[in-house]
Structure 1
Amino acid sequence: MANEPYSEVTNQSWGGRLMESIKGVVAGGALFIAAFPVLWMNEGCSVDTAKGLEEGAKVAISIDLSKYSNENNGKLIHGSGMATTTDTVADSQFGINLKAIKLERNVEMFQNEENVKEETSEKLGGGKETKKTYTYGTTWSSSLINSNNFKDPNAPKNPSTMPYESENWGASDVKVGDYKISSSLINQISANESIDYKSAGISIPSSISSRAKISNTEIYLGKDPSNPQIGDIRISHKVANPKEVSILGQLSGGVVGAFKTSRDTTIERLDEGTLSKEDMFAAAQKENAIMTWAVRVGGFFMMYMGLSLILKPISTLGAVVPFLGNLLGMGLGLIAGLVSFVLTIITIALAWVFFRPLLGIALLAVAGGVGFFLWKKKQEMDAKAPTTPSTSAAG
């Protein structure tokens, strides 16, 4: 049963807020400065990866993986086939021993969790009152929630340990067709098939089965799965059985591994299913584009957060009058956002001039042309704007 909400109220003076915001300027400056190399290097990495993939697409050859041949040794090869292994993977605690590529044990425990809601109010004179309300509920979690850190000393407690942990095991010798693949390629195979304990004929040790409720795909340690109690455990296993995959990599001594491009990037890719060489390279290019945009957005927010911290003392100075402080905060937030956006675009554009000269210069020219057009339009509008006639005194 959940406890009553627990509240904690703290007050901070205007002077304390000002000192805190001044200290934040240092962190803000570091964050702001760090955003520039992050954005710059991201463009460089993006270009290198894209060019490396283009290079790979030109030299890669598709081969029949079902028949071993060393004639393509040292080349970037593509092929599809069944990923198989003679290795066994085992979870000895639960009596599982299978010939498979991967085995995963997933463990969750029913536990208490703490949720917090924060409300802040500005006070006349620049002070700030913060009210935190803590509520407690329950959840299934794969990691231990330390209830000793709960704010309410009377909050419900969790067990101090989990009897079992999530683990995974993998085969070290995996082949696709007649060719071994590297550990990096093996790691790209997902264990996504649930083990059916009953149909697989798995014999769970009596030390566990005697106190467990075992369904087809779950081992439940507790009284009633439909009414879980704190400390109840549910366990499931997933496996990667032999499956059809497609690979890209360099063939070296019968093993397919990483191919190094002239851009100092590597190509070592595995996709599940039968994919053509063209589809695999297209997917890799798409992933590179997504990652590039993710870092661009991250760099913008680094810059925005840094500028916001740098400007924070100004809004804190105006917080003596709550309305003025809020107004300043909104205005400064808008300024930080606009400046960060412009600087992000400029940094990316300059990086393109360095890493992609033709495209970068063309984009800067277009941006300059648009800017000049808007400036000219503004000049024309100002010239056409009616002027207020001056009045002279009647005499």
Structure 2
Amino acid sequence: MARRLIHEGFVPQDETEAWDATPGGHVLVRGGAVVAWWVPENASPDSGFRIIGSHTDSPGFKLKPRADLHSHGWQQAAVEVYGGPIYASWLDRELSLAGRVALCDGSIKLLNTGPIMRIPHVAIHLDRTVNSNLTLDPQEHLQPVLAVGDPELSVADVLAESAGVDPKDIIAHDLITVDTQAPEIFGAHGDFIAAGRLDNLSSVQPSMTALIAAAQSEDTGDDILILAAFDHEEVGSNSTTGAGGPLLEDVLHRTAHALGADEDQRRRMFTRSTMVSADAAHSIHPNHAGKHDPVNHPVIGGGPVLKVNANQRYTSDAVTSGMWIRACQAAGVPHQVFASRNNVPCGSTIGPISATRLGIPSVDVGIPLLSMHSAREMAGVKDLGWFEQALEAYLVH
């Protein structure tokens, strides 16, 4: 994201340096989170903020600090469940490890190992109940195989080769499993896309492209446009890079201060502000329609989704819902609504966390998916394009 935004003219912001709120685009990377902001020429303490929030992380399996396992001649990688993946969807897939390693000289390297692991299913001949009563213990059954007959091999050796360093140079890591199968457009009419991590890259990508398009608009108005892509949403958002931390609040405060706003003016800037919490929604499932509300159910290919929940699992209310519907109308795109069945509770998003922390009105939206939290999820090609157009309309209208 940072590379793309910098290519489009956004200037990197170092958090340890004086804050830059000059007209134009700025981008900040903190760990697995990215915040970007566009300051119009006429921005001032009389401006507000238009914010799109999403998250960069997805469920999977994170490599444990001591990662070497050995069993009956096999070399395995010790992993820990991250978030709420659908376990069975990760079986029999070629997996890479991706993320960052910390080196002994204090530097950080990003890496992706390529396909090195697999979590193999047990053969049906050895478990005749596998199609009727599959039970997967996350400790016993979900440790990937890495090699066989090579007891001297360590996971650190594989990581070091990928990073181009000596194994002894790696002192820590944040690495998660990634399905290496390429994304695919499919369907009788090419309507669908299958890929890993659509929850929530299906919001991150349209948010970024909408911000770039809005920044190039001839009339961006007075408001500062913000993209906040947080980490750790799948595990509760409570981190320095999650929505429960101070990251977005810091960006808003420091931008307001750099524009000359005092405390009262900053608070007034917040009251002029709104936020769109962009996260994936549940399409009605043709084989499990009973899991959905009979009338408040979106479908893939029907357009972006407004997400509503009476218990504030989503932040949408009448005012912010109206704001979103007007954005869709301005963009000329269809829109849908999701509300869960009373006996099937829904998940939540960064929306309630950010709204509570900032006091900024918010609406929860997304595109409909099937197979959410699977290793390989499914979305609609048209929905992705429509979502970008609606987000751009929110930023510029």
TM-score by length of structure 1 reads: 0.17
Asked which structure has the greater RCO (Cα within 8 Å, sep 6+), the reply is: 1
Greater per-residue helix proportion = 1
